A and B are shown apart, each in its own frame.
Chain A
Amino acid sequence: MSPVQIGAVAPDFALPTLDGHMIRLSGYRGQRLLAFMWASW
């Protein structure tokens, strides 16, 4: 598998909020996005 490159398009994803609303990364086009990935464990 190829790792994601800095300077390349970030892989798109579709993930749900807890109320089932799907959010896509590509929905943020036009804005700078800071994404924070974490776990409760």
Chain B
Amino acid sequence: MWQQYLERHAGEGFAFLSIAVDVEPERVRPYVQPYTFPTVVDRAGMLGRTYDFDVVPNGLVIDETGVLRFQHLGGFDIRRPEIEAQMDALLAADFSCEPAPSLVRQESLDLEVLLAEAAAEPGDAALQLALGESFLQQGRAPEAEGPLRRAAGLDPSDWSAAFAVGAARHAQGAPDDALEWWQKALALDPANYTVRKQIWMVRHPEKFYPTIDFDWQKEQLIKEGVT
């Protein structure tokens, strides 16, 4: 779908980035190889936290100055004609108005900076979380675990810290631990569909691969008291 859309709009000067949300990055590989655009993986639930979403698929348009000009959370499907029309318009739009001040705290993305800042402010949960996420995104789960556990301890109400600890445990081959942490995350944010589905995927991979059993999901939602 996207490959075709991008080929139709080749030469228009915009970039396209595919972002997969998954605690098991290798699940993404079949969706990467055929395509010319880059795909990255968020295995820590980091974007769900920083962009405040609890569903996928989502679309974002970010302009040339780094300003977010559009987001569509859930059901973002380029095969839908109204969404394709919307993307056409957004890619051609003039975004020359001044950006609003950002309300989102931006931590450094540099590991050295985060290590120094976290050491200087050991009681700062956001720094511990950013540090742990950074280690985890770089495939350094054992080093991620300490900061992530500290973040979860400093802010026990934060679903994203609990989720990230689970992701670090999962990356180190401890799925039972991971599931325990993810259940905590879900208890803290029961509407979080990405956490719920990630739990299902790890517990019941046969309901997702090679094909997704949507009827099973509907039954699970009833069993889990969500619908």
Contacts and interface: CB of A to CB of B under 8 A. Distances in A.
B is a partner of A: yes
B104 A4 contact: yes
Contacts of A17: 32, 38-41
A13 to B, nearest CB: 6
A35 B15 CA distance: 8
Given A4-B51, A38-B19, A18 B32 contact: yes
B67 interface: yes
Interface in B113-161: 134, 137-139
A32 B94 CA distance: 11
A23 B19 CA distance: 11
B51 A32 contact: no
Q: How large is the interface on A (under 10, 10 to 19, 20 to 34, 35 or more residues)?
A: 35 or more
Nearest to B97: A7
Interface in B56-83: 56-71, 76, 78
Contacts of A35: 16-19, 59-62
Contacts of B57: 36-39
Given A24-B109, A25-B62, A38-B20, A32 B41 contact: no
A22 to B, nearest CB: 7
B32 A32 contact: no
A24 B16 CA distance: 13
B104 A2 contact: yes
Interface in A27-41: 28-41
13 contacts: A4-B50, A7-B69, A10-B60, A11-B51, A14-B137, A31-B15, A34-B16, A36-B2, A36-B19, A37-B20, A37-B57, A40-B209, A41-B197
